[in-house]
Amino acid sequence: MKKIFAAIALFGSMLTMSGCSDYLDILPKDKQTSDMFWKSREDVEAVLGQSYHLLRGSVKDMLYWGELRGGSVNTSETDPAKIQDFQILPNNKCVKWANFYNVIGLANAVLHYAPGVMGEDESYKEEQMKSNQTEAYFLRALSYFYLVRNFRDVPLITEPYIDDQMPTDVAKSSESEVIAQIKKDITDALATNAAKETYTEAWENKGRATKWALYALMADVCLWSEDYDGCITYADNLINATASIRPVFMSSSAQWFTMFYPGNSNESIFEIQFDGDLDQTSGGPTDLTYWNAAPVKLYFSETMTERLQDPETRASVRGIYGTFGYDKTATTEVTSPVIWKYNGMGDEWELKREGDNQDANFIVYRMADVMLMKAEALIRKGGTANWQEALDLIGQTRTRAGMTTSLGIDVAETSELDLLNALLEERDLEFAAEGKRWYDLLRLGRQQNFKYKSQFIDLVMTNNTTANRKWLSSTLSNDDAWFLPIPEWDIQTNKLLVQNPYYDVVQ
């Protein structure tokens, strides 16, 4: 089935757009989809398959945008290093948003055209149609969530390009408007009662959108938008689930690395699939070594390496040949270790991925993430009972990792900031190089009316060892600079787009 779905995705590639300015198009304007496509269930599956295929092509963006400004992961590549050093310009090739808008365009098409396919194909029943729509809602919501966290205000497009009369220039919508649409997509998907808990093939349970993935995404969106009660509710939908087949937190230390090899573990909620047997290696989250001529060249920063080398962390499952690795026979000095999560197949250097084995999946959501989302929401809500529950959740992931030292926090005497710092440290170790660090820091700096802005700046400056110090301090003081510039090409081709404020000044 995985090979069939991949073939469908390849067939669906005829629907992809050719450039950034064409993200509204689904097919050439003289061959509109309503006239020649959308005739069968297979047509809908083809577009969905291509949507997942395009999402796979976005993994580099997920890593660059989610890690390089956070200080735990560095790069040696020129354009990504500009992100890392906060020297970003609109013409930087790493700030293009086309991949995500291509996914959105195909999701829009499924939502618009799939109901009509039932009249063309008698075998395409309403239950299957609604299930396909839940996947489209998820893919659109996830794509917009990446865009809004990185560009803040973005064009909000919810209809497919149907004919030449439709406008191709679209102005930006506000962050709050985009977040509202994301939440609506998720609630609309869940309201169909057609979101699957399981699929026929095991890999689909993790590689296609499920009810569990919708819950995880909504918990994340609620946390971002300071809806802490909503975050807790949706996190609990996962944590307290009783379905026989569901994502579960794997409490055994021995199981931790199975999330990355072979992947698609019981803890996983949604991960982007790679398969070397299907030539799905190029551009994937593998080859994350600083010496490799791979599409994604990342390595752990100096400050992160020091934390990973802490004796307790190094000895844990998140240490050597867990989170990081290096050839111990060649050197005793560890400066820029390999990101072993994506490079390893076991607990020794000889088990480093090579060739077709360089096909590690990219995990978007897993249960530990959801648990720590809930912990963060509880901390923000305040109160000793909430704080104790948050500490207990943090303790579960620490214990699973093999960390035996107590955090030494007494909820009766601690502060909100101390708890948030403990949470951030735990998330940095647990989700190292999983594309989450920058968003974790942004929540600290932005929420509660920028309450911890100075602490956010201190954390970024402490962990960033490559940027000019004066430049970094000056840049971070302007919260408009915490977001990326609108891509230059889109500014030139979309007359209604206005460049993000900070970049109007620095160009």
Residue 283 has a CB neighbour count (10 Å cut-off) of: 16
Asked if residue 213 lies in contact with residue 367, where contact means CB atoms within 8 angstroms, the answer is: no
pLDDT tens readout for residues 397-442? 999 999 988 899 999 999 999 999 999 999 999 999 999 999 999 9
Return the top range by mean pLDDT from 7-16, 136-145, 281-290, 295-304.
136-145
Q: How high does pLDDT run on average in the chain?
A: 90
Residue 344 forms beta bridges with which residues? 352
Q: Decide if pLDDT at 352 tops 70.
A: yes
Cα distance between residue 48 and residue 142, in whole Å: 14
Which residues have a Cβ under 8 Å from the Cβ of 110 and sit 6 or more positions away? 44, 47, 48, 51, 132, 133, 135, 136
Q: Does the pLDDT at position 377 exceed 60? A: yes
Q: Is the pLDDT of residue 237 over 90?
A: yes
pLDDT for residue 29 is more than 60: no
pLDDT at res. 277? 66
- What would the pLDDT profile of 39-69 be if each residue is shown by its tens digit? 999 999 999 999 999 999 999 999 999 999 9
Q: Which residues pair with 339 in a beta bridge?
A: 324
Q: Is the pLDDT of residue 504 over 60?
A: yes
Tell me, what's the pLDDT at 30? Answer: 43
> What whole-number percentage of the chain has pLDDT above 90?
80
**Residues in contact with 505: Cβ distance below 8 Å, sequence separation at least 6, in sequence order:** none
Q: What is the pTM of this model?
A: 0.92
| Mean pLDDT of all residues in 171-196 | 99
User: Comparing 30 with 437, which gets the higher pLDDT?
Assistant: 437
The gap from C-alpha 41 to its chain's centroid, in whole angstroms, comes to 29
% of the chain residues with pLDDT over 70 = 88
Average pLDDT over residues 358-365: 94
∠ CA 268-271-274, nearest 5°, is 130
Give per-residue pLDDT as tens, 203-231.
999 999 999 999 999 999 999 999 999 99
Please report which helix (H) or strand (E) contains residue 325, including its range. strand 324-325
8 Å CB contact between 360 and 353: yes
Tens digit of each residue's pLDDT (9 = 90 or more) over 111-169: 999 999 999 999 999 999 999 999 999 999 999 999 999 999 999 999 998 877 788 89
pLDDT of residue 44: 98
| C-alpha to C-alpha distances, 74 to 160, 458, 459, 489, nearest whole angstrom | 38, 18, 16, 27
DSSP 86: T
Q: Give the tokens for residue 412.
A: 């009766």
Say what the pLDDT of residue 332 is: 66
Please list, residue by residue across 156-194, b when 16 or more beta carbons sit within 10 angstroms of its beta carbon and e when fewer do: bbeebbbeeeeeeebebbebeebbebbbebbeebbeeeb
pLDDT surpassing 70 at residue 454? yes
Of residues 328 and 378, more confidently modeled = 378
DSSP category for residue 14:
G
What residues are paired with 366 via a beta bridge? 268
Of 78-87, 279-288, 477-486, minimum mean pLDDT range: 279-288
* Integer Cα distance of 215 and 247 in angstroms: 11
Q: How far apart are CA 444 and CA 450, in angstroms?
A: 8
Q: Where are the beta strands (DSSP E) in 124-267?
A: 154-155, 172-173
DSSP annotation string for 253-277: GGGGGGGTTT---TTEEEEE---GG
For residue 163, the model assigns a pLDDT of 79
pLDDT of residue 280 exceeding 70: no
User: Would you state the structure tokens that stand for residue 40, as one six-digit string?
Assistant: 């069968």
Residue 125's nearest CA partner among 62, 41, 50 is 41
> Contact 245/198 with Cβ under 8 angstroms?
yes
- Residue 345 predicted with pLDDT over 90: yes
Please give the domain boundaries of the chain with CATH numbers for all domains.
1-195+453-507 (1.25.40.390), 276-360 (no CATH)
Tokens read off for 196: 């699957």
Q: CA 8 → CA 3, 99, 286, 414, distances in Å?
A: 9, 19, 24, 54
pLDDT(19) > 80: no
Q: Which tens digit of pLDDT belongs to each residue from 241-275? A: 999 999 999 999 999 999 999 999 999 999 999 98
Cα separation of 27 and 14, whole Å? 8
Give the span between the Cα atoms of 356 and 281, in whole angstroms: 7
| DSSP type of residue 345 | S
| DSSP three-state, residue 1 | coil
Q: How far is CA 162 from CA 29, 102, 125, 274, 493, in A?
A: 8, 15, 24, 32, 20
Q: Is 461 left (phi over 0), alpha (psi -120 to 50) or beta?
A: alpha
DSSP 484: P
Q: Read off the tokens for 499.
A: 């460049």
Q: How confident is the model at residue 357 (pLDDT cuts 50, 70, 90)?
A: confident
Higher pLDDT, 279 or 195: 195
Position 223 scores a pLDDT of 99
Q: Among all chains, which residue has been given the structure tokens 């992160």?
A: 304
pLDDT score of 6: 43
pLDDT at residue 87 in the model: 97
- The Cα–Cα gap between 409 and 422 comes to 9
Which residue, among 468, 452, 453, has the nearest Cα to 419 in the 3D structure?
452
Contact between 421 and 394 under an 8 Å Cβ cutoff? The reply is no
The CB density around residue 335, as the number of other CB atoms within 10 Å, is: 11
Length of the chain: 507
**Structure-model confidence comparison of residues 239 and 167, the more confident one:** 239
Q: What is the 3-state secondary structure (H, E, C) of 194-205?
A: CCCCCCCCCCHH
Neighbouring CB atoms inside 10 A of 60's CB total 18
- pLDDT on residue 167: 84
Q: Give the orientation angle of helix 228-239 with respect to helix 367-381, to 10 degrees.
A: 150
